[in-house]
Chain A
Amino acid sequence: MIARWHLGRAASGKLSIRPFVIGAMLATELAACGAREPSLIYADGVVRAEGWSGPAPADGWESVLNVRADDDPAAPAMLGEYSESGGVITFTPRFEPAPGLALHATFHVNQSTIEATFAEPAKAIASTTTVAHLYPSTDEWPENTLKMYLEFSAPMSAGEAWTHIKVVDDQGRTIVQPFVEIEQELWDGSGTRLTVLFDPGRIKRGLVDNRDSGPPLIAGRPVTIEVDPSWRDATGAPLAEKFSRTIRVTDAVRDVVHVKRWKVDAPRAGDSDLVVTFDRPLDHALARRAISVTKNGSLLGGKIRVTDEETVWRFTPDVGWAPGDYFIAVDGVLEDLAGNRPGKMFDVDTSDPAQSTEAASVTAIPFTVPGA
C-alpha cells in the first residue's frame, strides 16, 4: 500500500523526505536503526505510529496521532479507531480511504513531531457504462406519458440525474423542466435503473403548470430524449457515449386499463408459455411485478418476460403445467404509460360519475390447462 513517504522532524526544524516503495524495506531499515526510533507507516489500510513510550495520553490517542485526508492542518481529523500495543499506536480509518486520496499523519512523540504523507495514484477509471435501454420501448409515446425508465449497463452515481437528461423538441429547443426533479432520485437497489417522472403538474389537467407551461410532450411534435455522457457511473467514470432516441408523440391516453380486452393464450399441458396480450403498452416495471399466476391460492413460480414493446406478457412456469384451473392475478397498481390503472384513470374528471371509480385491488382472470 505504501507508494510515497515523506518524513519530517518538525521539532528539529529539519525536513527530510525519504521515499520508500514498500513496507518491507521500511521494516528492514527500522530494525537496523532500533525499535525505539519513532516512525509512521501506512500499510494494510492502517496507520501505525511506532516508538511511543509511557502511559496513554490524557486526551486520548488522537492527541498524539492525527491523521487527516487534507493537507490543511486545520482540517478535521479522519474518523477512525485508535489502539496501542507495545509502543505502536494503530489508527484504523472508519472507511477505507478513497482511491488516490493522500493521508497526512502527524505524530507527537518524545517532544518532537514527525509527519508523513501517504498517497497512491488514483485508480484509472475507464468509460464503459452505457444507457442499456429506455422504457417505454415503443417509439410512440402518448403526450400524457407519466414516466420513463433509464436502464444503465452498470451502477451509476446518484445526485446527477437532472442535469444530464434532456428532452429536445423538433426545433432543437430544450424543453424546460419536463421532469419532477426529486432530489432523492428514484433508483432501484442496484443503481442501474432510474425512474423519471414527467412533471405531473404539467400532465394533470387543470393545474397552473399544465395551463402555463403546457404538457412536456405535445401530440404530433416529435421529441428526442438525450442523455449527456458526462453523467458519472458509480466508479466515477463518465458514460462511454451519448444516448439519444427520438419519440413520436401521440394523443393522450385517457382511459382505464381494460383487463377484459386482454387476449389470453392458455398453455397446453406441458411447458409452453402462458401468453397475455394487453390492450395497450403497459408500464414495464409494473407489468413485470403486478401480474402473477396462482393455483389453489398459491403463487406459481416461473419466469416472466414482458416483450413486444410492453404489450405482451409471457410466463414460463418453473415446473411444467399440470392440468387444472388457474388464475392470472392482476394487481390494481398496474399502470399504462400514462398512469391509468385497471378501473381508475390517472386524472379523474370528478364531474363525470363514470370516471369516479375505485381502482380494482385485484382482478383475476381464470384459465384452464386441459388434461392430456
Chain B
Amino acid sequence: MKLRILSATAIAGAIAAIGLSATAAPGAEAKLQSAGALAFAPGGVLLIGDSVGGQIVAVETGDTAKAGAGKVEIADLSGKIAAMLGTTTDQVAVNDAIVNPLSGSVYISVARGLGPEANPVIMRADRSGKLTEVKVDALKRSSVTLSDAPAPDARNARGQSIRQEAITDLGFINGQVLVAGLSNEEFSSSMRTFAYPFTGGAKGASIEMYHGAHGQYETAAPVRTFMTYDVAGKPNVLAAYTCTPLVKIPLEQFKPGAKIKATTIAELGNRNRPLDMIAYKKDGRDFILMANSARGVMKLDAAKLETYRHIDMPIADKAGVPYETIASLQGVTQLDKVDETSAVIVVADANKQISLKTIALP
C-alpha cells in the first residue's frame, strides 16, 4: 500500500485532540500526591510542585508575620522528620527547602516512603529550629493541572501508558508561576507559565527551550534549576540546563508557544549538574550562589550579565561569567536566601546525614 500523507492543516477537523488533555481548573480540593519543588508567591502563598499528581498546588499558609531572627540549625533533619512521621530515616526523602520571605520560616517538602504510595508532607522549621507539619489539607488552596500530565494511575481509553512530568523547579514573578519540567517519555524541554491566582480553564503557556549548542547544533534543553533576575534593569530568567550551561532569557520572551533559544552566558564545567541557585548583594556587588552535584558551591560574579556574549564556540572546560568555588561548603543540595547576609542550606555529610544550616553569604 502506497502511503499518502496529509499535513495537519489539511486534515484539521479530521483528527480529534490525540491523547493530551489540556485542562486546568483552580482546584480548591486539590489533594497533594507528591511534594517536590517549592516556591513562594506573595502573601505567604506556598507553591508546591506535585509531579505525581501532575499539578501545582498553591497553599495559603497564613504565615505572614516575621517569626524571629534566630539562625535555624537542625542536625539530622531526615532523622528528626522520620521520627515525627513514624518511620525510619531511610524511608524519608527531603526534596526541597525554601524560606518564606515574610516570616523567615523554612518550608521543607518531604516524601514519607520511597515507593509509589509515598505520602507527601510539608514541614515548617521556625527560626528556633522547631519543626511542625503544614497541614495542606486544612488550608485554603488552589491548584492548576499541568496540561499534559494526567493522573498517575490513569490509562487512556486505549490502555496506553501515561507520561509523567518531573517538575524540576518552580518560580514566581510578576503574577506568573514558572514551571520547569522533564517528561518521562518524550525528550522535551518545556517551561510553562500560569497566571496566579489560578483561573479556571486557563491553560499554562508552554515554552520550548533550545540549547543553541556550540558551533552549530541545536537541541531541546531541559531546565534543571532557574531563578528570575534583573539584567540591565529588565527581568530575566537565569536557567541552568541539565548539562550545566547557564543561560539568560528575557522574561518578555516567555509567551505561549514561544520557542526560545537562550543566551549561554557561562559554561560551568562538565560531569556536573546544577542543583539550586540564589542571587544576593554583598558590599554593593551582585553575586549568584549555585549548588552543584559535582563541582561544589560556586559564587558567580553577577555584575553586568548583559555584557556576556552568547558562548557559541566549543570551550575547553569553563567560560563566561567568572566564579570561585566556596571550599567551605561541601555537600550542599539546597540553597535559599534568608536576607541579604544569610542563607539556609540543606547539606549532606559524608555519611549522607542531612542537616539544615544557616550560613553567612560568602
- Contacts of B224 on A, CB cut-off 8 Å? 182
- Contacts of A77 on B, CB cut-off 8 Å? 84
B180 shortest CB reach to chain A, Å? 11
A277 shortest CB reach to chain B, Å? 11
Residue of A nearest to B188 (CB): A333
Instruction: How many A-B residue pairs have C-beta atoms within 8 angstroms? Tell me.
Output: 269
Q: Would A98 and B88 count as touching, CB distance under 8 A?
A: yes
Q: Would A207 and B214 count as touching, CB distance under 8 A?
A: yes
Quick one: which of A201, A207, A331 contacts B19, CB cutoff 8 A? Answer: A331
For residues 1 through 51 of chain B, which have their beta carbon under 8 Å from a beta carbon of chain A? 1, 3-8, 11, 13-16, 18-20, 36, 51
Q: Would B158 and A350 count as touching, CB distance under 8 A?
A: no
Q: Would A208 and B52 count as touching, CB distance under 8 A?
A: no
Quick one: which of A155, A200, A297, A350 contacts B16, CB cutoff 8 A? Answer: A297
Q: A78-B86, A364-B6 are in contact. Are A206 and B14 (CB under 8 A)?
A: no
Q: A187-B184, A208-B270, A333-B188 are in contact. Are A348 and B15 (CB under 8 A)?
A: no
> Is the CB of A75 closer than 8 A to any CB of chain B?
yes
Q: A77-B84, A299-B157 are in contact. Are A200 and B216 (CB under 8 A)?
A: no
- Complex Cα–Cα for A93 and B18 (A): 45
> Is the CB of A28 closer than 8 A to any CB of chain B?
no
- Complex Cα–Cα for A286 and B15 (A): 18
- Contacts of B11 on A, CB cut-off 8 Å? 327, 362, 364
- Contacts of B13 on A, CB cut-off 8 Å? 297
Does more than half of chain B's interface fall in helix, strand or loop, or is it mixed?
A: loop
Does more than half of chain A's interface fall in helix, strand or loop, or is it mixed?
A: loop
Q: Would A350 and B242 count as touching, CB distance under 8 A?
A: no
For residues 94 through 125 of chain A, which have their beta carbon under 8 Å from a beta carbon of chain B? 94-98, 101, 103
B149 shortest CB reach to chain A, Å? 10
> Is the CB of A360 closer than 8 A to any CB of chain B?
yes
> Is the CB of A367 closer than 8 A to any CB of chain B?
yes
Q: Would A349 and B163 count as touching, CB distance under 8 A?
A: no
- Contacts of A209 on B, CB cut-off 8 Å? 243, 270-271
Interface size class, chain A: 35 or more
Identify the A interface with B (CB < 8 A).
68-70, 75-79, 93-98, 101, 103, 146-147, 155-160, 176-177, 180-191, 193, 195, 197, 199-201, 204-209, 211-213, 232-236, 259-260, 262-266, 283, 285-286, 288-290, 292, 294, 297-299, 301-304, 327, 329, 331, 333, 335, 339, 346-351, 360-367
Identify the B interface with A (CB < 8 A).
1, 3-8, 11, 13-16, 18-20, 36, 51-52, 79-80, 82-88, 91, 93, 111-119, 131, 133, 151-154, 157-164, 166-168, 182-188, 211-219, 224, 242-244, 267, 269-271, 273, 275, 293, 314-317
